[in-house]
Every structure is written in structure tokens, then in C-alpha cells.
Amino acid sequence: MAEVDRVIAQRLDSGVPLVGEVARYIISAGGKRLRPVLLLLTCGALGYTGKQRHNLAAVVEFIHTATLLHDDVVDESTLRRGRPTANESFGNPASVLVGDFLYSRAFQMMVDAESMRVMQTLADATNVIAEGEVLQLMNMHDASLDEE
């Protein structure tokens, strides 16, 4: 995970100071980093020891973090993990745009993996996440909606 954290710090670098500031704020909030851990454990179980495992673990963390940024704006959240959300600290426009930056940076990093299969899987997953968020938005006040 130390190598994943190094990749994250390196790939958050941007020539736009606010991008780095907001991205570092949300990434530094901690969290379990469960998704990157699962990716690394899966790589270990399959015997993959290539360098891209750290890159792709950072990719899934960036995608997850982007969804959190967007989610907090949509939900008008003011706290996450006991501290002010990025949208509370930096405003909604900065949070949405930095979320977009994290998505686009994740896709740049996927290209580094040079695997169309990996890119397809992660692109499809990102699309499903976005569709799910829109569905949630559409149905948020529908009390008749059941679990199914």
C-alpha cells in the first residue's frame, strides 16, 4: 500500500494548484482504501507481480474518490469521516471539477496499463457507477420504491 500511496501522490500532481489542494484534501481524509487492497490481494492470488498493480490500485481509488466528491455535492453533505466535505470547504464547483479531474486522471492511468481488457472493464464499471448515481437521484423521493 505504501507504493500505491506513492503513485496516488505522484498522479495528483497538476499545474493547477486548486486541483492538487482539493484532491489531496479528500485523499488525505483517510478511509480504509478497501478497493485498492482488494485489487492488490487479487493480484497476489493470481500471481501477478507486475508494476501495473500499484497503478491500477490507484486508479480504483481515484474513481472511488471522484464518486465521493460528486456524491457529497448531490447529497449536499457537509461532513465525511468527521470532517468537512470538500464541497463544504472549497465549494460545489471545485468539488465537481476536481472529481472530473480524478476521473480523467484515472483514465490516463488506465492507458498506461496498455490493456484494452482492463480499460474496458474499468470504463464499464465507471459508467455503471454514474448510471447508478443518476438512478438514485431520479428516485430519491419515491417512497413507493422497493428494494428490488
The C-alpha atoms of residue 147 and residue 113 are separated, in whole angstroms, by: 38
What are the tens digits of pLDDT across the range 87-103?
999 999 999 999 999 99
Pick 2-139's CATH classification: 1.20.950.20, 1.10.10.10, 1.20.58.390, 1.10.600.10.
1.10.600.10
Torsion of CA 91, 92, 97, 101, to 10 degrees: 80
Structural contact between residues 108 and 50, judged by C-beta atoms closer than 8 angstroms: no
Three-state DSSP class for 77? coil
What is the predicted pLDDT for the residue at 11? 94
DSSP state of 15: S
Stated pTM of the model = 0.90
Confidence band of 56 (pLDDT split at 50, 70, 90): very high
Give the residue-averaged pLDDT of 105-122. Answer: 94
Confidence of residue 24 (pLDDT cuts 50, 70, 90): confident
Query: How much is the pLDDT for 28?
Result: 82
Residue keyed to cell 448510471: 131
In this structure, what C-alpha cell is assigned to residue 36? 485498492
d(CA 121, CA 107): 12
Domain positions in the chain are 2-139
